[in-house]
């Protein structure tokens, strides 16, 4: 009796372990935040790049106007890749581009902009990352399209030709 019970018990344990692992494979633990649509622009204040002046979100964003908020850093390789697309968007008359410089050294950011040119109408320093957290960002680069003080599009990761044409269509 003892001899027949042990193989049955061992088989039962293996079946239970298999079921647990199989169920775990079907559950994704990858976190992907929602693409925010029609959420109000968060309230924040920050120091302007190359200036000692503090600004608030209410001073920056106006009604009836389109803004593109781009969270970037000089150490970010994808930020370098998307930079030419930001330069192209900067040519649009009815779109203002706001940069949020994320956890970066000011000298490195200056060098980055001197090398690649500055597509931003305004840059806000985010030395400790709290402004980016307010926006719901969890990495760089991230881009938000704003209209009437509402976020209408969130782009996670670097801009590409598809997101560029989508932004142009929405801003027209």
Which residue segment(s) compose the domain that 51 sits in? 39-171
Return the higher-pLDDT residue of 1 and 136. 136
Question: Is pLDDT at 61 greater than 60 in this prediction?
Answer: yes
**Residue 49 DSSP code:** T
pLDDT of 119 above 60: yes
On whether the CB atoms of residues 71 and 104 are closer than 8 A, the answer is no
61 domain-assigned: yes
**Residue in the block written with tokens 């209410």:** 58
Residue 89 contacts residue 120 (beta carbons within 8 Å):
no
d(CA 116, CA 146): 25
pLDDT at 63 over 90: no
Q: Is residue 78 part of a domain?
A: yes
Say whether pLDDT at 4 is over 80.
Answer: no
Mean pLDDT of 53-77: 93
Residue 2 counted as domain residue:
no
CATH number of the domain where residue 94 is located: 3.40.30.10
3 part of a folded domain: no
Residue 79 covered by a domain: yes
Query: Mean per-residue pLDDT for 135-156?
Result: 93
How many CB atoms neighbour CB 38 within 10 A? 9
Q: Find out whether 110 and 139 touch, Cβ atoms under 8 Å.
A: no
Q: Is residue 18 a part of any domain in this protein? A: no
Whether pLDDT at 152 is above 90: yes
- Give the mean model confidence (pLDDT) for residues 18-43: 70
Could you give the number of structural domains in the chain? Answer: 1
């Amino acid at each position: 009796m003892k001899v027949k019970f042990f193989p049955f018990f061992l088989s039962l344990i293996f079946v239970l372990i298999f079921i647990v692992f199989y169920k775990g494979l079907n559950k994704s633990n990858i976190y992907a935040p929602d693409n925010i649509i029609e959420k109000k622009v968060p309230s924040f204040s920050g120091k302007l790049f190359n200036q000692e002046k503090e600004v608030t979100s209410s001073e920056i964003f106006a009604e009836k106007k389109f803004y593109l908020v781009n969270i970037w850093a000089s150490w970010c390789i994808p930020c370098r890749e998307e930079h030419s697309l930001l330069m192209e968007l900067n040519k649009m008359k009815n779109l203002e581009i706001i940069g949020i410089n994320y956890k970066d050294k000011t000298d490195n950011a200056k060098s980055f902009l001197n090398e690649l040119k500055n597509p931003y109408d305004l840059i806000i320093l985010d030395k400790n990352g709290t402004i980016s957290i307010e926006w719901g960002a969890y990495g760089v680069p991230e881009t938000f399209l704003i209209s009437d003080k509402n976020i209408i599009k969130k782009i996670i990761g670097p801009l590409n030709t598809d997101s560029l044409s989508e932004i142009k269509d929405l801003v027209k």
